[in-house]
Structure 1
């Protein structure tokens, strides 16, 4: 072997040994995973800054706004730009979608779905796809936020690194949550908000073991975003350090109104999507129509454009007549519904904050008319922002911490917490979904949170069954059966008809105790119409056993009723219990050793 080739081989072996050692360290050391989460957070902070800068650059190019100007608060924009840019932007997005579909035909898996169904497995390709679509959608003025793209990038990067280091399922889910925590923390300059967004939406539960990597990622991402001077919104007015206890009942009323309004908004998105699909079958034309609607609303107010950072700032710091506030709310809600329903990529995160803030301000204005001087409009705006955001997004503690980190006022945070709790309860009882899980429901996925149910779907009858069950013809003489299958040989025997298809199950002890007049073993058959399919998951299989009141059920291939195996209830319950205990150990902290 030449000397150069020998050196390369030695270097490759060294790198391989180091990679194996590093993987072993990450699988056995909690500190190592926290360090990895911090590194991921720093990278996500950089990505969030880059995506935000790219979207704002497109807005500067297409709308002619200045570097420091926010599109949703821009004034004196030419009407032709407001109408033309979203329409052409919709056409451009359709072209981008066509190109991306050839490269990545499968729909992207977002962090919530990944953690709920796939054990945290995500693709960096999906992050690129969603990121490109979100940047273009936001850049042309569609009323969508970038937070979905940030979260996809953070979760995808974390998942890819976790898979590279061969992390366990529980560790990988936590790392995906840490990546999204960094994304949201960087987007809002609010590490606590990012951390609890991850706990409530992406991980699905809170645990001490998950706390450290999630916080490490959120803090490091926020610090990177601050160093890069990434644009975040802030409240420009001083909020009170003490609030009157009389404001608590008003905050509860705002929470109820926000919960009901959020349900209307989420159902409105679904209804608009169905109607647009019926009226405009072409995806390209649907995007262009959606862009035209957004542009038309923007001619009324530019609050309809983009996520709404500038408009939210103005909502906090300016005094506006109640009639105009109501108009702005309606414009923003309609623009958001049409944007998402027509196919623009993005989410309702920031739009819900703006709509809620306007709703709180409107409530304060109406109260001032009825009982002057009324509550502080800024405080009610913060309460409405958080309550409506929690109702739509499904993260009440994250929204509470957003208000706290935005204002630095514990007094206001108390009001917010009360409103958030009421809004969340209203949505939970009357609707049952957040916007993300509602979208999954419309797609046919049974996901109500990021709680790990993927392992249940992986634990199927096909995996658990005994593949070599004893089978005999159903027409077999009972005496011959007793001779062929003595007591103690097995408990259950599968019966087959003349065509080799499943005909039932017979209990061996029952067959040996049968009366003499029983001619064939088929006369003792049970569960002839009760079978399992190979893809039946553990939960559905347990329901089938309970309904059949059986100790064992055959697993067949479908209409052909060819027997593939036999599954006993005792084995199913034992394996299910083992998996549940394993998940509990993972949720109690990052698995070690």
Structure 2
């Protein structure tokens, strides 16, 4: 996609003054300063979205100030005329209206807003600020009405969108713009969890796609600034802090506890894959119902609200309040209640996302993992002889399960490991978390192949599986590499005329076309002269020496597709056509030039990753 179609095309881009742009483009210090600004803005955006969502929940459910919806044991009776379970459906109706407004006048060409992973993988960091604002607003409505979705997708979307627009204003290079988008995402996650290291590695693993010295300073500075701004605006911990909780039964946790943690990681991986499949099944079900897209969230909201009424309000919203409950050492829920809550929360999340509510599974995966960890700790003594000898306490298994489940859904093993470290402050427990997330991540990668975000890309027909920059490869098309200065020869040209016009030593390959100017093949000049000599000086027809009549390239093919076409045709040169139906010749491309341009781009990408001057 052309970047101009991703940015807001209706309004001209606002650029910084030329001298300031030159300084930012040429100075690493300037990039770090811009990353700090991005981090501060990201922290403000997270605070604003979090506050707006909480106010909406308090108004819909008549909650006391600061009360978390998912911490309730029963739905309040005074909300929405005594029918608070209708709040998700009301939110679905509002969301449907927002979808209608956002798509009005854009017809069927309306594209979904590009998220940070897709932007960095395919578009060099270009994102639409308007689209990001739409996503953030829809995410606030979805989470605020009680749908079982988290705000993290909206946090990263708006922060990365702002970062992208800042980078565009300074006309930053592709690699620097991708880094700045990573800075926005790092600031958002760091602010959301109060965890700078988690935010930084979220950017490295999931948004930028790699860790380099060149990206270290700006990303870490952005994460620190985002966390500090959020801490200044919301002094109380925004989410979970189990640093003071008893994670071990005894004074020490040793390497022997690794075995059950590995088993827990494998269990979490399997359940996470089921959840991702479940979301897809629900989404396909809503699509098969043929209900208009703006109406589906209403039905989904009714299902989620009914589920909360039938089970527990802890299935509503992201689950922050409920996670506090189940990460407490004194939590005493029965095994049946835990298992039921796992099923109910997974169903609520699948129905919410499948029906069209905006949000992700980041925090839902943390909550579900904590529940699975608690359940594992309770069932362990019943099915595992000697389980009591392990030193990890139930809340420790909750932390391990939380990280293992989240890495299966979100990805980023180091991200989830640092989240556990910053939450617990325990290096021994973090070591167990690392073993568990490696087992979970490896299992999902080998059996399923996707995180939730990349699985959604796959369902849309995209082939990307990470934020690694492959957009340059798509931009390096045949149309950009081909030679246009060629004159095709008619197929009915007499051989003698052709040989006089193309003597030995002239360009060795000539494109020929039929009487309708359609591509007919390529003539190898040395071969034509040799065939003419074999036939007593003149071959009967030019068509006798035409080669590759069915092998050609199209202008929109990528360099990778072109290389495959050369291999299949076993030719060093192929004609470029406008399309396969009209077969009009528009250029010529050689395999050597294709490989040369590909090698040059690979080298440029390598130098950009290492922070070397171009």
TM-score range, shorter chain: over 0.9
Structure 1 position 334, deviation (Å): 0.5
Give how far 1:489 is off.
2.0
Structure 1 length-normalised TM: 0.95
Equivalent residue for 1:369? 382
| SS across alignment from 1:505 | strand
Asked if 1:536 corresponds to 2:557, the answer is yes
CA contact (8 A) 2:607 2:613 kept: no
C-alpha RMSD of the superposition: 1.6
Matched, 1:307 2:323: no
CA distance in 2, matches of 1:424, 1:334: 23
2:246 corresponding residue in structure 1? 238
Q: Quick one: distance in 1 between partners of 2:333 and 2:381?
A: 13
Residue by residue over 1:367-396, the C-alpha shift from the partner in whole angstroms, topping out at 9 and shown as x without a partner, is 133456464111100110000000100111
Structure 1 equivalent of residue 476 of structure 2: 459
Instruction: Give the equivalent residue in structure 1 for 2:224.
Output: 219
Separation in structure 1 between the aligned mates of residue 399 and residue 76 of structure 2, nearest angstrom: 32
- Residue 11 of structure 1 is matched in structure 2 by none
Q: Deviations over 1:283-337 (max 9, x none)?
A: 2432111111111121211111100000111011112211111111111100000
Q: 2:200 aligns with which of 195, 198, 207?
A: 195
| 1:23 maps to 2:31 | no
Per-residue deviation, 1:280: 5.0
Distance in 1 between residues matched to 2:239 and 2:368, nearest whole Å? 18
Q: How far apart are the structure 2 equivalents of 1:217 and 1:446?
A: 30
Query: Could you list the per-position Cα deviations for residues 215-249 of structure 1 after superposition, in whole angstroms to 9, with x for gaps in the alignment?
Result: 01000100111111162322262334731322100
Secondary structure of 2:601's counterpart equals helix
Written as runs of structure 1 = structure 2, the 5 A alignment for 1:83-122 is 83-102=85-104, 105-122=110-127
Deviation digits for residues 69-118 of structure 1, max 9, x if unmatched?
A: 11111233236444211111111110111112227743200000100110
The one-character-per-residue Cα deviations of 1:152-183 (angstroms, maximum 9, x if unpaired) are 01110111011110111011101100110000
Work out whether 1:319 is the aligned partner of 2:332: yes
> Gapped runs of 5+ residues in structure 2?
1-13
Could you tell me how far apart the structure 1 residues matched to 2:138 and 2:202 are?
23
Give deviations 1:447-466, integer Å, cap 9, x for gaps. Answer: 11111111111111111110
Q: Distance in 1 between matches of 2:226 and 2:451?
A: 26
Partner SS state of residue 494, structure 1: strand
Residue 275 (structure 1) shift: 1.1
Higher helix proportion, which one? 1
Residues 36-77 of structure 1: CA deviation (Å, up to 9, x unaligned): 101110111011001000000000000011122111112332
Aligned to 2:8: none
Pair 368,68 (structure 1): closer, same or farther in 2 beyond 3 Å: farther
Q: CA deviation at 1:363?
A: 0.3
Which residue matches 2:517? 500
**1:292 equivalent in structure 2:** 302
Q: Deviations over 1:498-549 (max 9, x none)?
A: 1111000011122222244222222111110011111011000100000110
1:29–1:592 contact (8 Å) kept in structure 2: no
Choose the corresponding residue for 1:258, options 250, 262, 268: 268
Asked if the contact 1:82/1:298 (under 8 Å) is kept, the reply is: no
Using structure 2 for the length normalisation, give the TM-score. 0.92
Whole-Å separation in 2 of the counterparts to 1:280 and 1:519: 63
CA distance in 2: counterparts of 1:308 and 1:215, whole angstroms? 28
| Pair 1:70–1:103, CA change in 2 (3 A) | farther
Conserved? CA contact 2:499–2:529, under 8 Å:
yes
| Corresponding residue SS for 2:366 | helix
Of the candidates 335, 347, 357, which is equivalent to residue 334 of structure 1? 347
Partner Cα distance (1:78, 1:60) in 2:
11
How has the CA–CA distance of structure 1 residues 280 and 234 changed in structure 2, closer, same or farther, with 3 Å as cutoff? Answer: farther
Structure 2 distance, partners of 1:169, 1:474, is 46
Q: Quick one: distance in 2 between partners of 1:46 and 1:159?
A: 16
Per-residue deviation, 1:475: 2.0
Q: 1:581 aligns with which of 574, 599, 603?
A: 603
- Alignment length, in residue pairs? 577
Task: Identify the match of residue 543 of structure 2 among 513, 522, 544.
Answer: 522
Separation (CA, whole Å) in 2 of partners of 1:242 and 1:164: 53
2:577/2:587 contact within 8 Å kept? yes
Residues 170-185 of structure 1: matches in 2 within 5 Å? 170-185=175-190
Separation (CA, whole Å) in 1 of partners of 2:508 and 2:138: 59
Q: Are 1:28 and 1:592, in contact at CA under 8 Å, matched by a contact in 2?
A: no
Contact in 2 for aligned 1:476/1:522 (Cα 8 Å): no
Q: Is the CA contact 2:75–2:85 (under 8 Å) kept in the aligned structure 1? A: no
Q: 1:444 aligns with which of 461, 464, 467?
A: 461
Are residue 554 (structure 1) and residue 562 (structure 2) matched? no
